[in-house]
A and B are shown apart, each in its own frame.
Chain A
Amino acid sequence: MVDEGEVRRIAGLADIQIPEDEMPAFTVQFNRILDYFEVLDTLGEAGAGERALHTVMRDDEPRPSLAREAVLANAPADEDGFIKAPRVM
């Protein structure tokens, strides 16, 4: 059983906020889904290496990058060729 505090903590890890007025209903639904997942608990742990494929690697050959205008074209804000982002302090 996951309570609203735990939902808030998880939301914090995901940089998502669930509006407080939606929180009770959200938490109820969240728990119903988690209850459904309980069926998995009847199984053992998977061993590593279940994936049958192996990665095919590429050669170390440079190809042209995008033009800077194309890099910046989708960015909401840029300055002197850099893309603007939130502050980190």
Chain B
Amino acid sequence: MSGVVIGLEIHCQLDTRTKLFCPCSTDYRDDGPNTHVCPVCLGLPGTMPAVNRTAVEYALRVAKAFHCEVPVECEFSRKNYFYPDLPKGYQITQYDRPLALGGYIEIEGDGGLEKRVRLTRIHIEEDPGRLVHKGGGDRARYSLVDYNRSGVPLIEIVTDPDLSSPKEARRLIEHLRATLEYLDVYDPEKEGSLRVDANVSIAGHERVEIKNISSYRGVEKALTFEITRQRSLIRRGVAVERETRHFVEERGTTRASRTKVEEHDYRYFPEPDLPPLRVADRAAAIELPELPAARRERFRVQYGLSPNHARTLTGNPGLAEFFETVAGDDPVLAATWVADTLLGELNYRGRPVGSVGPARFSALLALLKSGRITDRSGVEVLRIVLDGDEHPDAVVERLGLAVTGDDTVSAAIAEVIAEFPQAVADYRAGRGNAINYLAGQVMKKTRGQADPRELGRRLADALAEDGPCT
């Protein structure tokens, strides 16, 4: 996608126990509206903000992980605007003295090479409340406000316009998300915990801002749609208008905001109730855990994994830890089974990796490694283990899935040769495919317990013995 220029503004909720400026719990998602609200986050007259140290600590971890420069002091400012979800008529955010400047995120670029996406800044701010519109957003005659979300800590990460495609944007966000999880500052399971605004333009044309992308999967979709829209305008000789558009998740499209791009004048000024914060010293004291890139490299070296497996298995810290627990003495086998099979089965069930007991999974790997069950049975056992509450050994026992002794397979081969003379004849006539059909029949008779790699050879032997080729 040559000529595409993309920059992102990513908002992530920090996974603190309390809000940014008041001691209300952030654990509101299972509760009714306006149940996690106090005078401060409701913006009652006379209340004052008190900064949550953990939120600042978390934001500094992120800044450090992405190689940002942390100034000696940072400061909160007020962003003044009116909106029904904003209880104070301003948002406490950071403006000209943010928590962190510069830095970069490394992703795999479209050319397959490592690419450095520069960061402009990272700052902390408070989330507004949530608006609900009964009977569909557009036609509702009034808004309903839930202030439970009001005051939840966010970090806003702003990238330079260094991305060249929707795929790169998606990769950046995936990498960012993984890093935040490694840093233990973010919970991706919480609905609405990551929101993205994207600036996108075709080189030489006006820039459009897409707001309201509320999932990382939506980013690629929204950008792809928007680039197509802009390209088609340009092809038709229509100028791309500088505007703000909204992403419509359900339809995968963007639409013009009905409000004109007002000339915003947010009248930022330093929050008088919060003197500057000293942050450089705090940042210096932070010790980062092993981050995804380092762990990926270690997995390749220490366990001999392929780059693909190493990347997949380090995609989130829970998965990486799971892999390391079950790696045992055959990490490559473990990697294959975790990355290629287990993840797919979990995805299909919409379940997290944490829902699988590593001990059971290790038992399954042991069965596979010893050759007691076939790969095919392995998948069957895994599915049963995931869906029920049975140990792999018990499943194999109950269903008789252990690889069968020679006698049964030999008998089945003899029977098949007797029962399918046409296929035998085809094989002998030189149509090699026929052996696959016969193998299938043997599998059927043995209910899949024959080792498929062995079976082809033994069948060929039996056919050779049974009669001469013509």
A contacts B: CB pair < 8 Å: yes
Cβ of B23 under 8 Å from chain A: yes
Is the C-beta of B118 less than 8 angstroms from some C-beta in chain A? no
A-B contact sample (6 more), CB < 8 A, given A54-B73, A81-B34 = A15-B82, A66-B37, A66-B39, A68-B37, A71-B37, A80-B144
Query: Does the CB pair B145–A83 fall under 8 Å?
Result: yes
A47 within 8 A of B: no
**Candidates A55, A74, A88; contact of B274 at CB < 8 Å:** A55
Interface residues of A in 56-81 (CB under 8 A from B): 57-63, 65-66, 68, 71-72, 74, 79-81
Complex Cα distance, B16 from A59, in Å, reads 11
Query: By CB atoms of chain A within 10 A, which of B23, B44, B96, B265 has the most?
Result: B23
The residue in chain A whose Cβ has the minimal distance to the Cβ of B153 is A60
- 24 A-B pairs in the complex with CB atoms less than 8 angstroms apart: A13-B265, A48-B97, A49-B73, A49-B276, A54-B73, A54-B277, A57-B51, A58-B51, A58-B53, A59-B54, A60-B53, A60-B54, A62-B18, A62-B25, A65-B24, A65-B25, A66-B38, A66-B39, A80-B144, A82-B34, A85-B144, A87-B133, A87-B142, A88-B83
Q: Which residues of B contact A62 (CB under 8 A)?
A: 17-18, 23-25
Chain A residues lying within 8 Å of B267, measured Cβ to Cβ, are 13
Residue from A57, A68, A84 whose CB has the most chain B CB atoms within 10 Å: A57
Residues of A within 8 A of B82 (CB): 15
Is the pair B143, A55 in contact by a Cβ cutoff of 8 Å? no
Q: Which residues of A contact B85 (CB under 8 A)?
A: 85
Instruction: Report the separation of the CA atoms of residues A82 and B32 in the bound assembly, to the nearest whole angstrom.
Output: 9
Q: Given A54-B277, A55-B275, are A82 and B132 neighbors across the interface (CB < 8 Å)?
A: yes
Quick check: A68 and B16 within 8 Å, CB to CB? no
B36 is an interface residue with CB less than 8 A from chain A: yes
User: In the assembly, what is the distance between CA of A48 and CA of B73, in Å?
Assistant: 10
- Given contacts A54-B275, A81-B32, A88 and B18 within 8 Å (CB-CB): no
Q: How many A-B residue pairs have CB under 8 A?
A: 119
- Write out the residue numbers on chain B whose beta carbons fall within 8 Å of the beta carbon of A15: 82
Chain B residues contacting A54 (CB-CB under 8 Å) are 73, 275-278
Query: Which residues from 138 to 191 on chain B have a C-beta closer than 8 Å to any C-beta of chain A?
Result: 138, 140-147
Residues of A close to B38: CB separation below 8 A: 63, 65-66
Q: Is A19 an interface residue (CB 8 A)?
A: no
Residue of A nearest to B49 (CB): A55
* C-alpha spacing A55/B75, complex, angstroms: 9
Interface presence of B233 (CB below 8 A):
no
Most chain B C-beta atoms within 10 Å of own C-beta, residue among A79, A84, A89? A89
Given A60-B16, A61-B23, check contact A71 B143 (CB 8 Å): no
Which residues of chain A have C-beta atoms less than 8 A from B32's C-beta?
68, 81
Whether B341 sits at the interface, judged by CB under 8 Å, is: no
Distance in angstroms between the alpha carbons of A49 and B133 in the assembled complex:
43
Query: A85: which of B39, B50, B84, B138 is its contact (CB, 8 Å)?
Result: B84
Residue pair A68, B34 in contact (C-beta under 8 Å): yes
Bound-state CA distance A59–B276 (Å) is 18
Beta-carbon contact of A57 and B23 below 8 Å: no
Q: State the CA gap A13–B265 with chains docked (Å).
A: 8
Complex formed: what's the CA distance from A58 to B96 in Å? Answer: 24
B270 neighbours in A (Cβ, 8 Å): 51
B17-54 residues at the A interface, CB under 8 angstroms: 17-18, 23-25, 32-39, 42, 44, 50-54
- Given contacts A72-B34, A83-B147, whether A61 and B140 have CB atoms under 8 Å apart is no
Cβ of B62 within 8 Å of any chain A Cβ, yes or no, is no
Contact of B33 among A49, A81, A88 (CB under 8 A): A81
Q: For chain B residues 254-280, which have a beta carbon within 8 Å of chain A?
A: 258, 265, 267, 270, 274-278
Report if A53 contacts B (CB, 8 A): yes
> Is A86 an interface residue when CB atoms closer than 8 A count as contact?
yes
Which residues on the B side are within 8 Å of A58 (C-beta)? 23, 50-53
Given A15-B82, A58-B50, A88-B84, answer yes or no on A82-B146 (Cβ-Cβ < 8 Å): yes
Residues of B within 8 A of A66 (CB): 37-39, 42
B265–A85 contact, CB under 8 A?
no
The 8 A-B pairs with the shortest beta carbon distances in the complex, nearest first, are: A82-B144, A85-B84, A60-B54, A57-B53, A63-B23, A53-B275, A62-B25, A81-B33
* Contact A89 B137, CB 8 Å, known A61-B17, A62-B25, A82-B132: yes
Give a binary string over A30-55; 1 marks a CB under 8 Å from any B CB, 0 the rest.
Answer: 00000000000000000011010111
